[in-house]
């Protein structure tokens, strides 16, 4: 019976080695999907390679998370995507934008992805004679890694907060400007309405000769002011629609 056991052990070892070889020669799904997103020229305005192709830049994080992540991943969380990059050794190399680099993640060199491995937070202590079991799910991109760096996550949140504050300031300024234009437009409408009413009253009270209304003093000036009001109202309306 012992030779049979030895033969089984030999077969198990061969299978384990074969699996390890296949695993090392196949890039993790997370890296393949990320490479596909960066490589797609149709979305270069959202995410693209940097100038020398040694990294990629997420130009529009909100649009990237909302529109692109769900197409290949099971979530739409940009912070989770960044944490996953960290577990594979990517570095954020710019403070003013979301630019990430990894020595083995390069434009036109997809075969290098096989050399990128997931970081481990700690080495699991194995019991004596315990068999090490590995499954393909370990390399799945949806597995939450316990090696998340709290400092990195904090930096992501700080940058996102700064961006939101900047956008909020711009929107607040635009809202104030629109309120001002709206008030000016309402004032002009009120003036124009008043002039129209005065004109109707003057027409009824103005003298006529053989049924033709005679022009009275100051009427030309009032017509000029009404024309100016109409012109200002037109300008304000055109600016509000831009």
CB 91 within 8 A of CB 3: no
Q: Is 127 helix (H, G, I), strand (E, B) or coil?
A: coil
Q: Is 58 helix (H, G, I), strand (E, B) or coil?
A: strand
65 belongs to a structural domain: yes
84 belongs to a structural domain: yes
122 belongs to a structural domain: no
What pLDDT is recorded for position 35?
95
**Local confidence pLDDT in tens for the 242 residues of the chain:** 445 555 555 555 555 444 454 455 688 899 999 999 999 999 999 999 999 999 999 999 999 999 999 999 988 999 999 999 999 999 999 888 999 999 999 999 999 999 998 887 544 444 444 443 444 444 444 444 434 445 555 666 777 778 788 888 888 888 888 888 888 878 877 777 777 777 666 666 666 655 566 555 566 777 777 777 777 777 766 666 55
Q: What gap in Å lies between CA 78 and CA 163, rounded to an integer?
A: 14
Best CA proximity match to 188, nearest among 224, 225, 230: 230
Q: Is 205 helix (H, G, I), strand (E, B) or coil?
A: helix
Q: Which of 68, 88, 115 is the last residue of a domain?
A: 115
- Per the structure, how many domains does the chain have? 2
Q: Which of 115, 132, 148 is the last residue of a domain?
A: 115
What pLDDT is recorded for position 67?
93
What pLDDT is recorded for position 15?
52
Which CATH number is 95's domain given?
1.10.10.10
Q: Print the domain residue range for 60.
A: 29-115
90-123 exposure pattern, b = at least 16 Cβ within 10 A, e = fewer: bebeeeeebbbbbebbbbeeeeebeebebeeeee
Beta-carbon contacts of residue 114 (< 8 Å; ≥ 6 apart): 24, 25, 26, 27
185 belongs to a structural domain: yes
Indicate the pTM of the whole model. Answer: 0.45
What pLDDT is recorded for position 19?
45
CA 198 to the chain's CA centroid: 55
120 belongs to a structural domain: no
186 belongs to a structural domain: yes
129 belongs to a structural domain: no
8 belongs to a structural domain: no
Q: What gap in Å lies between CA 23 and CA 15, rounded to an integer?
A: 12
Cα torsion at 134, 137, 138, 141 (round to 10°)? 170
What pLDDT is recorded for position 128?
45
Q: What gap in Å lies between CA 45 and CA 59, rounded to an integer?
A: 7
End-to-end CA distance of the chain: 87
What pLDDT is recorded for position 14?
54
């Amino acid at each position: 019976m012992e030779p049979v056991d030895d033969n089984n052990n030999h077969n198990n070892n061969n299978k384990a080695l074969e699996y390890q070889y296949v695993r090392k020669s196949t890039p993790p799904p997370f890296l393949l999907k990320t490479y596909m997103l960066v490589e797609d020229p149709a979305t270069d305005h959202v995410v693209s390679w940097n100038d020398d192709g040694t990294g990629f830049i997420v130009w529009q994080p909100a649009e990237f998370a909302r529109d692109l992540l769900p197409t290949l991943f099971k979530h739409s969380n940009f912070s989770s995507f960044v944490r996953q990059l960290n577990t594979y050794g990517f570095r954020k190399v710019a403070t003013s934008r979301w630019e990430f680099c990894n020595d083995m993640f390069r434009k036109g060199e997809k075969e290098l992805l096989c050399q990128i491995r997931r970081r481990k937070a700690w080495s699991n202590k194995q019991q004596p004679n315990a068999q090490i079991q590995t499954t393909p799910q370990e390399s799945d991109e949806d597995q939450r890694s316990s090696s998340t760096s709290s400092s990195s996550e904090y930096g992501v949140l700080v940058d996102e907060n700064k961006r939101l504050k900047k956008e909020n300031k711009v929107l607040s300024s635009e809202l104030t400007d629109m309120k001002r234009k709206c008030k000016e437009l309402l004032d002009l409408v009120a003036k124009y309405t008043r002039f129209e009413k005065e004109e109707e009253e003057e027409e009824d009270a103005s003298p006529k000769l053989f049924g033709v209304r005679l022009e009275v003093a100051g009427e030309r000036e009032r017509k000029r002011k009404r024309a100016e009001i109409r012109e200002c109202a037109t300008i304000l309306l055109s600016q509000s629609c831009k």
